[in-house]
Amino acid sequence: MLSLGLLIITLLVLGWYYLKHQYSYWERRGFPYDKDAGIPFGCLASVWRMERGMGMAIYDVYMKSKERFLGTYLLYRPAVLVRDAELARRVLTQDFASFHDRGVYVEEEKNPLSASIFSLRGQSWRSMRHKLSPCFTSGKLKSMYSTSEDIGNKMVAHLQKELPEQGAKEIDLKEVTQTYAIDIIASVIFGLDVNSFEQPDNKFKKVVSLIRRNNRFAALIGMMIFLIPAIAKFMFRMGLRNPVAVALLAIVKDTIEYREKHGIVRKDMLQLLMQLRNKGSIDDDENKNCNIQTSEDGEIKSISLETITAQAFIFYVAGQETTGSTTAFTLYELAQYPEHLKRLQAEVDETLKQNDGKITYDALNKMEFLELCLQESLRKYPGLPMLNRECTEDYTIPDTNHVIKKGTPVVISLHGIHRDPEYFPDPDKYDPYRFAEETKNYNPIAYMPFGEGPRICIAQRMGRVNVKLAIVKILQNFNIEVMSKRELEFEISGIVLTPKNGVKVRLSKRVLN
């Protein structure tokens, strides 16, 4: 019994010394480092305490330092936070060869549901990006526009029912615009005809509730997937499942089976993914492992049902949240700046007048002040508040002797850079004019709302179009009541900037002449 006790004490002491050694990694290398990142969570202690989301915890580290780059710890793992905008852009673009992977959990063979374009590495990512790019050409977006417009009209009809004939009512714009985004994704990505405004309990919209789990276990899993992929790999091999991906797999399988049975062909992303899929019918054995098939040089030859779902999963999760939030954030800010609201309202009315009361795809993209407002919203509220990469070969930081070793995570606080007065004067102010040519007042190197370089968001143009259309539809049909200036609070779960308690704005019906 005594020997067992001594063994336990010895193991604890050795474990403690290991952690102390691990947490002195940057100090031993003479790196500038975050002195507040301590055992056992590093700079993410506030995430574990459920005080901050992961992106905002990284933002807190950014705000405490003035260094160009900073060593920190993501749980026990040494990582580099890049604070300098020029260096960040270099990591994402010019020196992409040294940082071409995100470093998040992915296991193509054992867990193909993890093999999304966001997570894939190396040649598998390059090949998937090449395969998916035709889904997001200008021609494809233009052909999708009528679908988005139809869903925008359903959103307007919903608000018309919600608002009184006289006077204003407070509306959670985040809920409304997220529903709009979900239905667009359901149609143009999955080929489903749903109306979540009239049928809010449909199975496609209900998947959102699985994403919004707000507890310590969900926060821990998120940290593992993004920051400690080796542990995430172990947990998934032990039986952990992604409930959102599993739910979407059932939807994708049913949709593909229905199309194949009835010979239905649609011009959407799912149809393209079906063309890439393994030939033959869908196997009824859910446990059969059917994976990405690659040639000797890593090129994707065909993809499985699970890998189709992995792509659909990332577009669902990222698209519905960022499109809905960006639309709501823009209208929320306009409600606090009546001079901007007035100018955008005038631009909407003039565009409608010039186009017989319609907002066409081309007309939408010619609205200059709307574009400035969107740019400022994406500056103040980037879809992802942090970008992450993994160093894929030893990298000497320019103009220094410091080396980032292969395998080291690298994080960029986009929220921090976009709110840094060094790059964006008066950063808390919502100022669309900072992006106008005649009044430009920002450092373009620091503006990266969708990331930069080869791994820039593949669906950014689709997202921009749908956000603009939703804003125009609301301004065309409703008045926004001006309110006092205030800042939003964000949820503590997940990576993206999710507004806490929604985005509340008072709307009233507009009397159209």
Question: pLDDT tens-digit profile of 390-424?
Answer: 999 999 999 999 999 999 999 999 999 999 999 99
pLDDT at 465: 96
pLDDT at 296: 54
- Report percent pLDDT > 90 for the chain: 62
What's the whole-number mean pLDDT along residues 130-134?
84
For residue 300, pLDDT over 60 is answered with no
What's the whole-number mean pLDDT along residues 448-468?
96
- Cα separation, 225 vs 409, in Å, equals 13
Q: Which residues are annotated as a binding site?
A: 457
For residue 497, pLDDT over 90 is answered with no
- Note the pLDDT tens digit of each residue in 199-257: 998 888 888 777 766 666 777 787 788 888 998 999 999 988 888 888 889 988 888 88
pLDDT at 214: 62
pLDDT at 47: 87
The three-class DSSP label of residue 300 is strand
**Furthest CA-CA distance within the chain:** 90
- Cα separation, 369 vs 334, in Å, equals 12
- Note the pLDDT tens digit of each residue in 305-352: 888 899 988 998 888 989 999 999 999 999 999 999 999 999 999 999
Question: Could you tell me the pLDDT band of residue 279, with boundaries at 50, 70 and 90?
Answer: very low
Question: Which residue in 485, 512, 469, 482 sits closest to 339, CA to CA?
Answer: 482
Question: Could you tell me the pLDDT band of residue 286, with boundaries at 50, 70 and 90?
Answer: very low
Q: Which one has a higher pLDDT value, 49 or 368? A: 368
- Tell me the chain's radius of gyration from C-alpha atoms: 24
Within 40-84, where are the H helices?
45-48, 54-64
Question: Could you tell me the pLDDT band of residue 75, with boundaries at 50, 70 and 90?
Answer: confident
Q: Which one has a higher pLDDT value, 434 or 37? A: 434
Question: Could you tell me the pLDDT band of residue 367, with boundaries at 50, 70 and 90?
Answer: very high
pLDDT at 391: 97
Q: What is the mean pLDDT of the chain?
A: 89
Q: Within 10 Å of residue 445's Cβ, how many Cβ atoms?
A: 16
Domain ranges of the chain: 31-509
CATH match of 31-509 with 1.10.10.10: no
Q: Which residues are annotated as a binding site for heme?
A: 457
Token readout for 438 is 């005649």
Q: Say if residues 212 and 496 touch (Cβ distance below 8 Å).
A: no
Tell the residue number behind the tokens 């797999």, with chain if given: 249
- Cα separation, 475 vs 50, in Å, equals 37
Alpha carbon of 448 to those of 64, 138, 230, 379, 417: distances in Å?
22, 21, 29, 8, 9
- Report percent pLDDT > 70 for the chain: 93
Burial of 65 (0-12, 13-18, 19+ CB in 10 A): middle
Q: Indicate the range of 51-65, 167-181, 208-222, 426-440 predicted with least confidence.
A: 208-222
Q: Which residues of 285-296 are buried (b: 16+ CB within 10 A; e: fewer)?
A: eeeeebbbebee
For residue 151, pLDDT over 80 is answered with yes
Question: Could you tell me the pLDDT band of residue 358, with boundaries at 50, 70 and 90?
Answer: very high
- Note the pLDDT tens digit of each residue in 100-122: 999 999 999 899 999 999 999 99
Tell me the residue type at 410: V
